[in-house]
Amino acid sequence: MSLRRSSCRSALLLIAALATCACELDTTRAGINAVGPSPLGQSDVAVNVARGAQIQPTLIQPVPFARPLCPAFPPFLAPFTVVFEGDGRTERFFTGIDMQFVDRFGVAGGLLTFGRTELVNRFGSTTLPLFGTRAFPFSFPFGCVGAPTGTLTVVVFAADSFGRVASSRVHVTIR
């Protein structure tokens, strides 16, 4: 094999390897397996998908559970509301939420997750308004492990009509 063919083959292999690394399988759209460019970071569009998600109140007072029996019925509930504000541009959907409590000593409790199916069962439609707000109330059960004061981490997931998913992470103090 000539030196020219060998260097040409090496260059083609390098280009093919780089092209493969630059693309990934996109499985976010139901039933479609498409190959496209990998994201280099969150684009403005992806950030805007979850933009406008707020947790209220910003300081949560734990509510004692009537008859605690761990782990099925923890001694405290942390009531809060996820509020989405319309962006006026894109149809969006509330697609999931993750919640975890860490007490003031750093002891982490269990992770509670609601996917889109659980959200639809609980709230009906999860469509977010283009204008105005929509609120989703939650109560996070905690207190079987650790102290009743600490931080509740809430990660909210939203998707737009193009299948782009973004998240917003909020830390809320519980006292």
Q: Are residues 67 and 120 in the same domain?
A: yes
Pair 97, 157: CB distance under 8 Å: yes
pLDDT-derived band of residue 7, with 50, 70 and 90 as boundaries? low
Q: How far is CA 99 from the centre of its chain?
A: 10
Mean pLDDT in the chain? 78
Q: Are residues 6 and 81 in the same domain?
A: no
Range of the domain at 148: 40-174
Q: What does R_g of the chain's alpha carbons equal in angstroms?
A: 22
User: What is the tens place of the pLDDT at every residue in 58-104?
Assistant: 999 999 988 889 988 999 999 999 999 988 888 899 999 999 999 99
Q: Are residues 69 and 130 in the same domain?
A: yes
Q: 150-160 and 92-103: which strand pairing?
A: antiparallel
Q: Are residues 21 and 60 in the same domain?
A: no
Q: Is 70 exceeded by the pLDDT of residue 156?
A: yes
Q: Are residues 98 and 125 in the same domain?
A: yes
CATH number of the domain residue 105 falls in: 2.60.40.10
Number of domains in the chain: 2
